[in-house]
A = this chain, B = another copy of it.
Amino acid sequence: MTRHYTLTISCPDRVGIIAAVTGFIAEHSGFIVEASYHTEEEQFFMRQEIRADSLPFDADEFCRRFSWLASEFSMDWKLADSAQNKRLVILVSRQDHCLDDLLHRWRTKELQVDIPCVISNHEDLRSFVEWHGIPFIHVDMQDKAAAFEKIAGHFDEHRGDTMVLARFMQILPSSLCQRYLGRIINIHHSFLPSFVGAKPYHQAYLRGVKLIGATCHYVTDELDAGPIIEQDTMRIDHGDTVDDLVRYGRDIEKTVLARGLRYHVEDRVLVCGNKTIVFK
């Protein structure tokens, strides 16, 4: 993959936005690799990938020159550089299927990110994480308030971009949710909005649904109610016990988290109210 810049824009919809933006890029011989647009409730959303080596200047200069256009259209915008890896701090508890999956994608370079550390409230996964050469930080959850302060501290210290709750099984305090809004990603083990909260597979079993699912979403103040990035379901039947659902569920959870995280890392996700636009 050659180096590219990803320009994401959100602004009030009107005639001429695409023309203005692509005109600006073309003026500087910028080569557009991928382009996506969406309009929702009179708001316009846009994502462009531009080949870095097609431009006569660097990202900083691009931003300087683009800011004039951006302000004319009242744009909320961002330019990401593919050469600059996002930094994911992963939080886990004892179950490691999502962690295993993410670390595999990381070490095979499928997921091009940095993982400065993994934080857990248990010691179980230390050896596995450290085998990867990634620092493992244990945080005691006895005093929850203090624990979450520590977690935030580690996240900041390691210059984390995104906090990934890879089956962390702890409810984050409101203050943390707000502080890192749009930067905390959770995998919930149900097809939301069904089965919010604890033991969703038990809830699903008791309700007798014929498919189970998983949901990757941004964390907000309200439990399991943040903007949904990705979901999937799979078929079960009456012969499946709760343990079977838990087992099948692991496969959906890790796939859905990996997909959602990839969209996030590639700046494909734009938030619009409590919904997401995912430019695949």
Which A residues contact B (CB, under 8 angstroms)? 15-16, 18-20, 22-23, 25-27, 29-35, 37-40, 54, 96-97, 100, 104, 108, 110, 128, 131, 191-195, 206-211, 213, 227-233, 235, 237-239, 247, 250-251, 255, 258, 272, 274-278, 280
Contacts and interface: CB of A to CB of B under 8 A. Distances in A.
Q: Main SS of the interface on chain A?
A: mixed
9 contacts: A15-B54, A40-B238, A128-B131, A207-B274, A207-B275, A208-B228, A210-B278, A238-B275, A238-B276
A195 to B, nearest CB: 8
Contacts of A26: 15-16, 18-20
A209 B228 contact: yes
A252 to B, nearest CB: 10
Contacts of A208: 227-228, 274-276
Contacts of A227: 208
A19 B15 contact: no
A188 B213 CA distance: 19
Contacts of A278: 210, 237-238
Given A100-B100, A210-B231, A213-B233, 4 more contacts: A192-B194, A207-B228, A210-B229, A211-B233
Contacts of A276: 208, 238
Contact of A38 (B191, B230, B239): B239
